[in-house]
Amino acid sequence: MRTVQFLALLPFSALAFAPSSLKPRNSALSMSSPVESGLVDLANKQNPVVGYFDPLSLAEQQFWGQSTDATIGFLRQAEIKHGRVAMAAFVGYWVQSNWHFPWAQTLAGDPFPSIDLSPEQQWDACPLTARFQILTVIGLLEVWDEYGGGNDNPHYMKGRQPGKYPSFAQFRDTVHFVFDLYDPFGLFKKMSEEKKAERLLMEVNNGRLAMIGIFSFLVADKIPGAVPALSSIATPYEGNVMVPFGADFSLSQGTIVGTLAFVGILSAANSRARESLDEAESTSEVEATSE
């Protein structure tokens, strides 16, 4: 569970450590306001009581020198993704607290961590190699998403529907069979676009609630009595939920900040590299046309 929460913060680390990438709205790259982009109408559909809420005016910025449309795509993708992670984490917390696989976890025959431990303690008790395997799979899923599943799918900052995870069709056809993450059995192929849009609104709201829920569990375990409603079921945890390998390595707070800063720099560098590649491709297309 700690890994899930740690990974959920990584996409935002680039924003925290690359403030120079935020451009004023009057740049030539600025394209849509929150009203023009439909954010205000979308917010009213999601929650008519709260409505549109953006006190930091993030939707009017231009992250990494991109347009406001690209920025909105990034923000919407981030919220949907983090909401899905939180929903999985919330359900996982309940499951891990009451049940674990009955077979051996390792080739040596070691069982899965006992349910007498809290989910945070179970993570610490897992073999280090098992945790690295989990991180590797998550990282590969992120790469597949960022590059559109190896097909011609546009990036979510360049027009792809936010939250639409690419199919594994190319991997399935060329490497190994694997089910798609969404609708693996094709049960919703005939669902109307209106119904899909309605369900996405519900998913975003459920994700927001799940974010509050999973952090309530984590806070209740870390700070006894901080969440009165969970006091009777909370299991005190002495570790740091923001340090996924804290039980194995001694990491200072400075190291944590440094790691996030490094990830932010890598994210910014990756964005710049992508921009350069796009510019090179555009130049090549222009030259080919002129010839």
Task: Write out the residue range of the structural domain in which residue 79 sits.
Answer: 2-290
> Could you report the per-residue pLDDT of 1-46, keeping only the tens digit for each?
444 444 444 433 333 333 333 344 444 444 567 777 788 888 899 8
Q: Return mean pLDDT, the chain.
A: 80
Quote the pLDDT of residue 8.
42
The pTM for the full model equals 0.73
pLDDT at 277 over 60: no
Closest CA to 63 of 272, 203, 289: 272
Quote the pLDDT of residue 259.
61
pLDDT at 245 over 70: yes
Q: Which is higher by pLDDT, 192 or 284?
A: 192
Token reading at 87: 């929903």
Backbone angles phi, psi at 241, to 5 degrees: -65, -15
Neighbours of 61 (CB within 10 A): 20
Q: Which string of DSSP letters, residue by residue, matches 83-107?
A: HHHHHHHHHHHHHHHH---SSBSST
Please give the tally of structural domains in the chain: 1
Quote the pLDDT of residue 152.
76
> Could you report the per-residue pLDDT of 98-123, keeping only the tens digit for each?
998 889 988 889 999 998 999 999 99
Average pLDDT over residues 209-236: 92
Q: What angle do CA 129, 132, 137 make, to 5 degrees?
A: 130
For residue 162, what are the contacts with CB-CB under 8 A and spacing of at least 6?
73, 76, 77, 80, 156
Average pLDDT over residues 167-195: 88
pLDDT bucket at 242, cuts 50 / 70 / 90: confident
